[in-house]
Amino acid sequence: MLRTGWRRGMIAVALLGLGSIVVTAGGAADRPAGWRPVATGVARADEHDLPAGPIRERHELMEEIGKQAKALNGALKSGDTAGVAPPAEAIARLAPRIVKLFPEGSTDPKSRAKPEIWQKFDQFEALAGQLETSSAALAVGAKAGADVQALAAKVMRTCKGCHENFRTPKKDEQ
């Protein structure tokens, strides 16, 4: 049984390598330099149920930001100050896309976006801007060999503040 599951997983990975399809909204002009799509053509079970368009795209964007935040935390924990810069730069490049992916009315029961986003859009927009600014400052500080702990804490506080105010927790987080 274990072998069969492993074999299916390997087949899926091989198929991904042969022909992944990426669908994104907006043209290249809407994307920051260095941005790469996150979608791979094979969605996780929870992504299958998200409607195409901004709801799915923002989920994918937030997944990528979360991946970069984990890399950032790993570098911090290991004391790798220089290793903090690449994920901080990636977050700074991705953050400007956040607001564009929350157009009014882009709600869905499967989305974790709270209605407060659109009720307090100025606050939401400000937090996205703070994420861009604080992560860029962290990248600069990391490259300069600065003490990055305080800079990283500001990035994480920004993420946490937005999540607490504008995102419903997962069922297992409640």
Q: What is the per-residue pLDDT across 74-121, written as a single tens digit (0 to 9) for each?
A: 999 999 999 999 999 999 999 999 999 999 999 999 999 999 999 999
Confidence (pTM): 0.73
How far, in whole angstroms, is CA 78 from its chain's centroid? Answer: 22
**3-class secondary-structure state, position 167:** strand
Instruction: Please tell me the predicted confidence (pLDDT) of residue 49.
Output: 84
Question: What superfamily does domain 44-173 belong to in CATH?
Answer: Cytochrome c/b562 (1.20.120.10)
Q: What is the per-residue pLDDT across 18-58, written as a single tens digit (0 to 9) for each?
A: 332 233 334 444 444 444 444 444 444 455 589 999 999 99
Instruction: Please tell me the predicted confidence (pLDDT) of residue 170.
Output: 87
Q: Which of 127, 135, 125, 113 is nearest to 158 (CA)?
A: 127
Distance CA 49, CA 111 (A): 10
**171 or 37: which leads in pLDDT:** 171
Instruction: Please tell me the predicted confidence (pLDDT) of residue 48.
Output: 57
Long-range (24+ apart) CB contacts under 8 A made by 65-74 are 65/91, 65/94, 65/95, 65/159, 68/94, 69/155, 69/156, 69/159, 72/138, 72/152, 72/155
Long-range (24+ apart) CB contacts under 8 A made by 9-12 are 12/42
Residue 172 pLDDT level (bands cut at 50, 70, 90): confident
**32 or 69: which leads in pLDDT:** 69
Instruction: Please tell me the predicted confidence (pLDDT) of residue 77.
Output: 96
